[in-house]
Amino acid sequence: MTVEVISVGTELLLGNIVNTNAQFLAEKCALLGLSMYNQSVVGDNRERLKEAITTALHRADIIFLTGGLGPTEDDLTKETCGEVMGLPLVEDEHTRERIENYFKNSIFKEIPENNWKQALVPEGALVLDNDNGTAPGLILEKDGKRMILLPGPPNELIPLFQKQVAPYLQKLRPELIVSRMVKICGKGESQVEEELLDLIDKQTNPTIATYAKTGEVHVRVTASAPTEEVADKLIRPVVKEIKKRFGVCVYSTREEETLEMAVVRLLKKYELTLATAESCTGGLVAGRIVNVPGASEVFREGFVTYSNKAKRKHLDVSKSTLKKYGAVSRETAREMAVGGVFATDSDICVAITGLAGPDGGTEEKPVGLVYMACCLGDKVTVEKYQFKGNRSKIREQSVVRALDLVRRTVAENYGK
Amino acid sequence: MTVEVISVGTELLLGNIVNTNAQFLAEKCALLGLSMYNQSVVGDNRERLKEAITTALHRADIIFLTGGLGPTEDDLTKETCGEVMGLPLVEDEHTRERIENYFKNSIFKEIPENNWKQALVPEGALVLDNDNGTAPGLILEKDGKRMILLPGPPNELIPLFQKQVAPYLQKLRPELIVSRMVKICGKGESQVEEELLDLIDKQTNPTIATYAKTGEVHVRVTASAPTEEVADKLIRPVVKEIKKRFGVCVYSTREEETLEMAVVRLLKKYELTLATAESCTGGLVAGRIVNVPGASEVFREGFVTYSNKAKRKHLDVSKSTLKKYGAVSRETAREMAVGGVFATDSDICVAITGLAGPDGGTEEKPVGLVYMACCLGDKVTVEKYQFKGNRSKIREQSVVRALDLVRRTVAENYGK
Instruction: Work out the percent of chain B whose per-residue pLDDT is above 90.
Output: 76
> What's the pLDDT score for residue A205?
92
Name the H helices within B247-325. 259-269, 284-290, 308-315, 319-325
Chain B environment of A38 (Cβ under 8 Å): 13, 40-42, 48, 52
C-alpha A222/C-alpha A34 separation (Å) is: 12
Q: Which of residues 35-94 of B touch A (CB under 8 A)?
A: 36-43, 45, 48, 52, 55
Task: Show residues of chain A in contact with B295, CB under 8 Å.
Answer: 282, 306
Least confident range of A336-340, B30-34, B122-126, B368-372: B30-34
From the list A43, A293, A306, the residue facing B301 with the nearest CB is A306
CB contact under 8 A, B155 and A390: yes
Counting runs of H as helices and runs of E as strands, what totals does chain B give? 15, 17
Confidence (pTM): 0.82
Kindly report the nearest CA distance between residue B124 and chain A, in angstroms.
Answer: 30
From residue A245, alpha-carbon distances to A215, A221, A242, B393 in Å are 18, 15, 5, 37
Q: How many CA atoms lie within 13 A of A413 on its CB side?
A: 21
Angle at B84 between CA B79 and CA B85, to 5 degrees: 100
A107 pLDDT more than 70 = no
Tell me if chain A has a CB within 8 Å of the CB of B144.
Answer: no
Judge whether B8 and B44 are in contact, CB under 8 Å. Answer: yes
> Which three-class secondary structure state does DSSP give residue B251?
strand
The 3-state DSSP class for residue B140 equals strand
β-sheet bridge partners, residue B299: B274
Span B253-270, average pLDDT = 96
Instruction: Check CB contact of A402 with chain B, cutoff 8 Å.
Output: no
Terminal Cα distance for chain A, rounded: 40
- To probe the interface with A, which of B49, B106, B301 has the most A CB atoms within 10 Å? B301
- In this complex, is the C-beta atom of A290 within 8 Å of any C-beta atom belonging to chain B? yes
B132–A390 C-beta distance less than 8 A = yes
Cβ B283–A280 below 8 Å, yes or no? no
Backbone angles phi, psi at B303, to 5 degrees: -120, 140
Q: Do A25 and B15 touch (CB under 8 A)?
A: yes
Nearest to B339 by CA among B277, B289, B384: B277
Which of A7, A32, A39 is most worth mutating to test chain B (most B CB atoms within 10 A of its CB)? A39
Cβ partners under 8 Å of residue B115, min gap 6: B71, B99, B103, B134
Interface test with A, best of B27, B157, B304 (most A CBs within 10 A): B304
What order of strands is seen across the sheet that includes strand A62-66? Answer: A126-128, A137-142, A145-150, A62-66, A2-8, A35-42, B35-42, B2-8, B62-66, B145-150, B137-142, B126-128
Determine the average pLDDT of the residues in A63-71.
92
Percent residues over pLDDT 90 in chain A: 75
The identity of residue A353, as a single letter, is T
Contact A395 B290 (CB under 8 A): yes
Query: pLDDT per residue over A263-310, tens digit each?
Result: 999 999 999 999 999 999 999 999 999 999 999 999 999 999 999 999
A261 and A272 in contact (C-beta within 8 Å)? no
- Dist. CA B131–CA A390, nearest whole Å: 11
CB atoms within 10 A of CB A319: 10
pLDDT of residue B71: 79
Chains A, B: CB contacts within 8 A come to: 225
CB within 8 A of A375, min separation 6: which ones? A334, A337, A338, A340, A341, A348, A349, A351
Q: Looking at the complex, does the CB of residue A191 fall below 8 Å from at least one CB of chain B?
A: no
The tens digit of pLDDT for each residue in A221-246 reads 999 899 999 999 999 999 999 999 99
For residue A190, the model assigns a pLDDT of 78
Q: Taking CB atoms and an 8 Å limit, are A283 and B280 in contact across chains? A: no
**Residue of A182, A258, A304 whose CA lies nearest to B392:** A258
The pLDDT-based confidence of A108 (bands split at 50, 70, 90) is low
Q: What is the DSSP string of B292-313?
A: STTGGGTEEEEEEE-SHHHHHH
Please check the confidence at residue A33 and state whether its pLDDT lies above 90. Answer: no
Phi and psi based region of residue B247 (left: phi greater than 0; alpha: psi -120 to 50; beta: remaining): left
Q: DSSP character for A125?
A: P
Decide: helix, strand or coil at residue A226: coil
- Rounded to 10 degrees, the C-alpha dihedral B35/B37/B39/B45 comes to -110
Residue to mutate among B13, B193, B258, with most A CBs inside 10 A, is B13
For chain A, say whether B362 makes contact (Cβ under 8 Å).
no
Torsion from C-alpha of A149, A153, A155, A158, nearest 10 degrees: 30
Q: What is the pLDDT of residues B52-99, one digit of tens each?
A: 999 999 999 999 999 999 877 788 999 999 999 999 999 999 988 888
Distance from B87 to chain A by nearest Cα, in Å? 26
Which of A267-276, B212-221, B302-311 is predicted least confidently?
A: B212-221
With residue A385 as reference, give the H or E element that holds it. Answer: strand A379-386
What would the mean pLDDT of A333-348 be, rounded to a whole number?
A: 97
The verdict on B349 touching A (C-beta cutoff 8 Å) is no
| Contacts A29 to B, Cβ<8 Å | 15
Whether the predicted interface score ipTM is above 0.85: no
